[in-house]
Structure 1
Amino acid sequence: MKTLRACCIRLHRWFGLASAAFLVLVGLTGSVLAYYEELDAWVNPRFLAQVRPGEPRLDLATLAERAQDLAPEVQVMEATWRYGGRQAEIRTRPWPDSDPSFAPGFDSILLDPWTGAQLGRRTWGDIRQGWVNLIPFLYRLHYELALGHPGMVLLGLVALGWTADCFVGLILTLPAIGWQSRCQRRKSTRGWWIRWLTAWRIKHPASGTRRLFDLHRAFSLWCWMALLVFAWSSVLLNLPSVYEPVMLTLTGYTPPAVSIIQASGKRGDAERGLSWRQALEQGRHLMSYQARSLGFTVQREIMLRFIPRDEAWLYRTHGSRDVLHRRGATDLYFDAHTGRLRALQLPTGEGAGQAVTSWLYALHVADVWGWPLRVVVLILGVVLAMLSMTGVLIWRRKRMAENRSAGE
């Protein structure tokens, strides 16, 4: 037992020191991102259209075509409703056959959903463009350290270590169990629980070092389950190559349809086959048929995206099986040339693995249960930063005390 505890102490200490800066960063940015839409709207009010009650909005295909007319030098890839329908975000990329040095200066065109008028352009998350990208830049910091794929993988490895450290830290809060006879152990069970109860408390009065230790240990216990959920959901988002096989083994989870559908033959990266209008109509037709067949309802459209790699269209809606509140994850994939159904992915009702994954994602992005969860996520991000900082301070004070003792 002593050997196990000593090993756990070393693992907890070195992981905490190695990951502290990362966890402080993701904790504080995560607190802010719980209110992503509200903050981005506050920073960029000109990117939101005035609501026109009683006036119908343009559909996603029409808005995508408008954006293509406004920016013929780039290829429109995706049209998405944002901010409760007050903005249509059109994502773009340079044409595949364009000059490699060509830099359009934007990858997102924001349109008025009622008129199709342009509200603005930006390269999402590029802080060099100024305040218009402040909140998206914080998102990039939180998700990938604003470094692209390498940053995403690095944070995924941190999340994997964080998940393991949740269990290591829990073990360290447990009172030691001595070598006792079975009778003695039965008598001391009640005492063991009483001793563990002290780990949940913050002593007062106490020395500064003791107060730091109590804060670190007690808050980690109070928030243990929430911290584990956010740690493992971070692995889901940043390191799916680890998350998917683990969840396949535990729950039978299969990865998202976009990672398993295969095109029957390549016909050119830039070629779509179906137009935006045809794709929207086909997506609506296929989704309506699937809804009738499987017994769910479609409540609103979310997004239409062209996926060149798979030569497919993605039509996303918010349906009755969704966990997410503001977004949607009822996804339908169909062939970009023939319109044939490739795959349907429902958030719930299709197995425990998919349901668990949907809930993990919804909890992580604070898009379920309304404002109470967003407040919890805000507080939890601050707690995570506090736990990381107190852990470093505890180590530093112990190290200083050891150095003083060695010098005497």
Structure 2
Amino acid sequence: MTRHFWVLVHRYLGLSMTIFLVIVGLTGSLLAFRDDLDLWLNPDLLRVATRDTPMLDPLDLIEKAEASVPNMRVDEAPLYVELGRSFQFSLTPRVQNVAVKEFVKLPGDLGVFHDEVGVPMIYLDPYTGEVIGERNITKGLSGRKDIIWFLYRLHMTLALPANLAGLGARILGIVALLWTLDCFVSFFLTLPKPHRVRTATGKSWLTRWAPAWLVKWNASAFRINFDLHRASGLWTWIMLFIFAWSSVAFNLNEVYTQVMNTLFGAQPPELLPAPALPSRSATLENSKLGWAAARTRGRVLLGEKANKDGFAIKHETILAIDRNIGRYTMCANTLLNAEDSQACVEFDADTGAVPLEEPMSGSHMQAMPTRLADTITGLIQELHMARIFGLPMKIFVCVMGLVITMLSVTGVYIWLKKRKARRLSFDRKVSVVENASQHKANRSFP
């Protein structure tokens, strides 16, 4: 295949992805500081004045949250709140609605976006239990309290309606796959053309590649755009690839898993996660273990796990109940070998018994042999979401979102200028042919 073929591939892949990359680039740039921006936009919901009095027990706030919206209930109870922040609960309908008929099933953990009811959130004062406010994080854009979550849905599902949210996610997954392929095509196109014959005075290959990394600022507007497009893509290529490939993992996991298994080997069958547990014949409305008893049981199990696996528990984070299978899950932030991680335990909501098959999450994963593919997946996803390296990584991801947007815009500009040049060249050729024909016709008649 000729170089011209790959130029055409890069051109039309880029044009087909432009609008989507601009959307995810700009929204991703903002979402790098999602929590900070949400706090800035909605201090009335998320902030409370600190007091000398102790905060209420999080479990005591569950009844207050449910009482404010009688047709809803709490299935997830946060167990930790930062000083000066409100306490928030996500609510679930007591009577399950008819499932939305999805055009395409949502991948991964995005299932909340397909529910017509969405995810109502209620915010309480941790000192008094007073309801501060509410919002639905998966509904439309009705005010400043919805801005950040609207941007999140735009970034993940193109903010399409509930029955089409899966389609939006899949479209972005396909775009991510094309973007991944284009990363290699675009890198190849920056390489210098090979010389058929190398003379003694000829420049080395690296010397001829060096201009691709530079921007000639005193050149024409077209040349500056071309250099920005090429050089920025080179300098940020590794991160661009990480964003593209991790997006495939999020939205097209079946493709991602197949490729990673091919490259690094499939996971042995005995280490695969246990199949999903069957649902109960009826939803467990009232478990025999209440919230307080469940927390006590969870603390015992987490303590046993800490002794077994050698980690220290920093603080409990969440206690949740899955009423379909009748199980509690309790998690805590932990410290193991100077590294932060999360540990979780599961137990029956009626008896407190630990299931025979331990959950494949949290600290359990650390006890299993870790494949290189799993390590890579975890790393690129953490980088994508700026969950490691603190503020510097957030700033870097924010800038990368702007770089992605710039690459898309400069790519379209280059295409438009070249298209205009090709049209002018074609018109000149046509004009020359027409003039020659006219001149020949004139000579034929005296």
Instruction: For structure 2, list consecutive stretches of 5 or more residues without a partner in the other structure.
Output: 101-114, 429-446
The amino acid of 1:312's aligned partner reads: R
The amino acid of 2:424's aligned partner reads: R
Name the SS for the 2:82 alignment partner: helix
Residues 361 and 114 of structure 1: is their aligned pair in 2 closer, same or farther, counting only changes over 3 Å? Answer: farther
Is 1:405 aligned to residue 425 of structure 2?
yes
Residues 22 and 131 of structure 1: is their aligned pair in 2 closer, same or farther, counting only changes over 3 Å? Answer: same
Deviation of 1:16 after TM superposition, in Å, equals 0.7
Greater Cα shift, 198-207 or 213-222 = 198-207
Q: Is residue 141–residue 150 contact of structure 2 (8 Å, CA) maintained in 1? A: no
Residues 4 and 100 of structure 1: is their aligned pair in 2 closer, same or farther, counting only changes over 3 Å? Answer: closer
Deviation of 1:165 after TM superposition, in Å, equals 1.3
Residues 332 and 405 of structure 1: is their aligned pair in 2 closer, same or farther, counting only changes over 3 Å? Answer: farther
Residues 82 and 217 of structure 1: is their aligned pair in 2 closer, same or farther, counting only changes over 3 Å? Answer: farther
TM-score (structure 1 length as normaliser): 0.86
Name the SS for the 1:263 alignment partner: coil
Partner of 1:218: 231
In 2, Cα distance between the equivalents of 1:165 and 1:114?
A: 53
Residues 312 and 193 of structure 1: is their aligned pair in 2 closer, same or farther, counting only changes over 3 Å? Answer: farther
Residues 135 and 383 of structure 1: is their aligned pair in 2 closer, same or farther, counting only changes over 3 Å? Answer: same
Deviation of 1:159 after TM superposition, in Å, equals 1.3
In 2, Cα distance between the equivalents of 1:308 and 1:189?
A: 73
Partner of 2:64: 66
Deviation of 1:10 after TM superposition, in Å, equals 2.2
2:24 corresponds to which of 9, 23, 26 = 26
The amino acid of 1:290's aligned partner reads: K
Deviations 1:97-126 (A, max 9, x none): 568999879611122233322121111143
Deviation of 1:383 after TM superposition, in Å, equals 0.6
Partner of 1:266: 280
Q: Is residue 173–residue 199 contact of structure 1 (8 Å, CA) maintained in 2? A: yes
The amino acid of 1:343's aligned partner reads: P
Residues 32 and 58 of structure 1: is their aligned pair in 2 closer, same or farther, counting only changes over 3 Å? Answer: same
Residues 223 and 44 of structure 1: is their aligned pair in 2 closer, same or farther, counting only changes over 3 Å? Answer: same
Partner of 1:119: 132
TM-score (structure 2 length as normaliser): 0.79
Greater Cα shift, 52-61 or 384-393 = 52-61
Name the SS for the 2:75 alignment partner: strand
Partner of 1:139: 152
In 1, Cα distance between the equivalents of 2:75 and 2:297?
A: 17
Partner of 1:209: 222
Is 1:364 aligned to residue 366 of structure 2?
no
1:355 corresponds to which of 371, 375, 388 = 375
Is 1:96 aligned to residue 95 of structure 2?
yes
The amino acid of 2:224's aligned partner reads: R
Residues 300 and 391 of structure 1: is their aligned pair in 2 closer, same or farther, counting only changes over 3 Å? Answer: same
Residues 335 and 153 of structure 1: is their aligned pair in 2 closer, same or farther, counting only changes over 3 Å? Answer: farther
Deviation of 1:88 after TM superposition, in Å, equals 2.4
Residues 372 and 97 of structure 1: is their aligned pair in 2 closer, same or farther, counting only changes over 3 Å? Answer: closer
Partner of 1:315: 330
In 2, Cα distance between the equivalents of 1:69 and 1:324?
A: 40
Partner of 2:106: none
The amino acid of 1:9's aligned partner reads: V
2:319 corresponds to which of 293, 304, 309 = 304
In 2, Cα distance between the equivalents of 1:323 and 1:152?
A: 37
Residues 396 and 365 of structure 1: is their aligned pair in 2 closer, same or farther, counting only changes over 3 Å? Answer: same
In 1, Cα distance between the equivalents of 2:380 and 2:316?
A: 23
Deviations 1:382-408 (A, max 9, x none): 110000111111111111111111111
CA RMSD between the two structures: 3.4
Is 1:390 aligned to residue 410 of structure 2?
yes
The amino acid of 1:73's aligned partner reads: N
In 1, Cα distance between the equivalents of 2:181 and 2:117?
A: 43
Partner of 2:6: 8
Structure (1 or 2) with the larger CA radius of gyration? 2
Q: How does 1:218-237 map to 2 (within 5 A)?
A: 218-237=231-250
Deviations 1:342-396 (A, max 9, x none): 3142377451444333322221221222211111111111110000111111111
User: Would you say how many aligned residue pairs link Structure 1 and Structure 2?
Assistant: 399
Name the SS for the 2:386 alignment partner: coil
Greater Cα shift, 171-180 or 95-104 = 95-104
Instruction: For structure 1, list consecutive stretches of 5 or more residues without a partner in the other structure.
Output: none
In 1, Cα distance between the equivalents of 2:17 and 2:244?
A: 13
The amino acid of 2:302's aligned partner reads: M
Name the SS for the 1:136 alignment partner: helix
Is 1:152 aligned to residue 169 of structure 2?
yes
Name the SS for the 2:15 alignment partner: helix
Greater Cα shift, 119-128 or 132-141 = 119-128
Residues 97 and 384 of structure 1: is their aligned pair in 2 closer, same or farther, counting only changes over 3 Å? Answer: closer
The amino acid of 1:198's aligned partner reads: P
Partner of 2:123: 110
In 1, Cα distance between the equivalents of 2:276 and 2:99?
A: 27
Residues 134 and 321 of structure 1: is their aligned pair in 2 closer, same or farther, counting only changes over 3 Å? Answer: farther
In 2, Cα distance between the equivalents of 1:361 and 1:241?
A: 16
Deviation of 1:27 after TM superposition, in Å, equals 0.7
1:345 corresponds to which of 322, 339, 361 = 361
